[in-house]
Structure 1
Amino acid sequence: MKRNGKLSAFLHALVHMAHMPGRAMTSEEIGAWLNTNPVVVRRSVAGLREAGILSSSRGHGGGWTLARPAETITLADIASALEERLIPFNTEPDNPNCLVERAVNKALDGVKDELEQLLRQRLADVTLADLAVQCGAGVSAHLEKQRGH
């Protein structure tokens, strides 16, 4: 899972799932898409399940499915469920006694919070279905190839 964060990784997996509604995906399959261990997948999807984005079923044919239609899931819902900070720069002080560093970090924290809010507002306007449509034909062709058609 070599991406900037969980959001981009799980959007990748959720778009695959949106293209195969109702088909349960195992943690192993999702892990293969994300190039990570299935254990990492299971730990990461807990928030998605709690937010009602994913549901799981056990046993033969079990796995993860979208819990509701992709049209009702916003990218902001997903980011929130993953508890992902969208603006990654860090303002933890290297030298907490330095007045200049504290002033700079305080200014950056205000900007970071404002950017985070604006980005979440924008993500609330985009659904998983919107993203799946953008990927559309390429994903469908890939899935057909995998099915052997």
Structure 2
Amino acid sequence: MNKDTRLSDVLHVLLHMEQVGEPLTSKVLARSMGTNPAVFRRTMAGLRNAGLVRSGKGHGGGWQLARPLRQITLLAVYEALGCPRLFAIGNRSRDSNCLVEKNVNAVMEDTMAEAQALFAKRFGTITLDEIAPRRPVPISVHARA
């Protein structure tokens, strides 16, 4: 199963956006994520709708942060991306007549719900300024390997 790297990719881009301090085009930011501008814009749409970033068109346009890093939590970014699935683990079937399978499903659902709650609690306490490098780092424009 492929990993969903959107959260990591977007966090990377947001931290670079803050360091640059001026609008960056979809083309430049997409290259840093190893994708194309159309995919980048689709990925960022949820962040724009959540008020985390803004975009402008035309000369001098591009993507910028809409608020300071200290006001953006990891949880806000995760939610703006549509809450990507955390685990690949799942139940065999949702509705079963088998008592054993019902018990397995119940313990797995409870455990996954606890893990999701712990994830949300932790991510809600971390702001982007806490993970930003203290020194400027040039934006990476190479595709991922």
- Shorter-chain-normalised TM-score: which range? 0.7 to 0.9
Q: Which TM-score applies when normalising by structure 2?
A: 0.82
Specify the code of the residue in structure 2 equivalent to 1:27: S
1:136 aligns with 2:140: no
Specify the code of the residue in structure 2 equivalent to 1:53: L
d(CA) in 2 for partners of 1:97, 1:141: 53
- Does the 8 Å CA contact 2:91/2:108 hold for their aligned counterparts? no
d(CA) in 2 for partners of 1:95, 1:68: 42
After superposition, the Cα gap between the structure-2 partners of 1:3 and 1:64, relative to the gap in structure 1 and judged at 3 Å, is farther
d(CA) in 2 for partners of 1:62, 1:45: 15
After superposition, the Cα gap between the structure-2 partners of 1:20 and 1:66, relative to the gap in structure 1 and judged at 3 Å, is same
Aligned position for 1:55: 54
Instruction: Give the aligned CA root-mean-square deviation in angstroms.
Output: 2.1
After TM superposition, which residue ranges in structure 1, 4 or more long, deviate above 6 angstroms?
none
Aligned position for 2:10: 10
Aligned position for 2:115: 115
Output one character per residue of 1:5-27: Cα deviation in whole Å (capped at 9) or x when no partner: 31111111111112122x11111
Q: Which structure 1 segments of 5+ residues have no match?
A: 144-149
After superposition, the Cα gap between the structure-2 partners of 1:98 and 1:90, relative to the gap in structure 1 and judged at 3 Å, is farther
- Does the 8 Å CA contact 1:95/1:101 hold for their aligned counterparts? no
Structure 1 residues 47-126: aligned runs within 5 Å: 47-85=46-84, 87-93=86-92, 97=96, 99=98, 100-126=100-126
Q: Which structure would you say has the larger RCO, counting Cα contacts within 8 Å and 6 or more residues apart?
A: 2
Q: Identity, % of aligned pairs? A: 34
Q: Which structure 2 segments of 5+ residues have no match?
A: 140-145
Query: Match of 2:40, SS?
Result: helix
Q: Which TM-score applies when normalising by structure 1?
A: 0.80
Q: Which has the higher helix share?
A: 1
- How many residues are treated as equivalent by the alignment? 137
